[in-house]
Amino acid sequence: MDKGEIDSRYFISDYEEHVFDTWNDFYKGIDLKIIGFLVWAEEFTGNDDISKLPAWKQLFIQKNRALYERNKKFIDSWLVRNDNISWMVPTHRKMEWQAGKDITNIYEGLIQFRLFGVRVKRPDKFSTLVVMNHPQIVGRYKRRLTP
């Protein structure tokens, strides 16, 4: 990490910080610390018939609905506090925790905005930096790597 003066474009935006703060609050409030599946906030309160969906998608939805049921009181209040996350870009309403128990909050990890959601990884597991469209954000510095 550069220690000198850093161009402001490498730091996260207010919106990005708000997304991270919101998911950080979520992670700290649920009963699961090794999530192991993509969290789809829009599936928490869903009750649509999913039987015709591909098996992998059914499994994700079932896991999200079970997470919601176990944490209903917290998640309902989290949704209310955060305007049902309607202010988030739809893909940011999903979160993937790939850090196991190695960290206790988003800002201790490496974060990426990906096409399928916000990914949080261990701080020592950078993705490939070659041809990467979604540069990682070093949580504790709240910024991207400089070239």
Instruction: Please give the chain's pLDDT, 147 residues, in tens.
Output: 667 788 888 899 999 999 999 999 999 999 999 998 999 999 998 889 999 999 999 999 999 999 999 999 999 999 999 999 999 999 999 999 999 988 999 999 999 998 889 999 998 877 666 545 678 899 999 998 877
Domain hosting residue 126, numbered range: 8-144
The total number of structural domains that make up the chain: 1
Whether 3 maps to a domain, the answer reads no
What integer pLDDT is reported at residue 129 of this predicted model? Answer: 60
pTM for the model stands at 0.91
Cβ(16)–Cβ(113) under 8 Å?
A: yes
Distance CA 52, CA 38 (A): 20
Q: Which of 104, 112, 12, 26 is nearest to 64 (CA)?
A: 26
The DSSP output letter for 60 is H
Q: Which of 6, 71, 62, 81 is nearest to 32 (CA)?
A: 71
Whether 133 maps to a domain, the answer reads yes
What integer pLDDT is reported at residue 147 of this predicted model? Answer: 74
Whether 1 maps to a domain, the answer reads no
CA torsion angle 130 109 64 46 (round to 10): -80
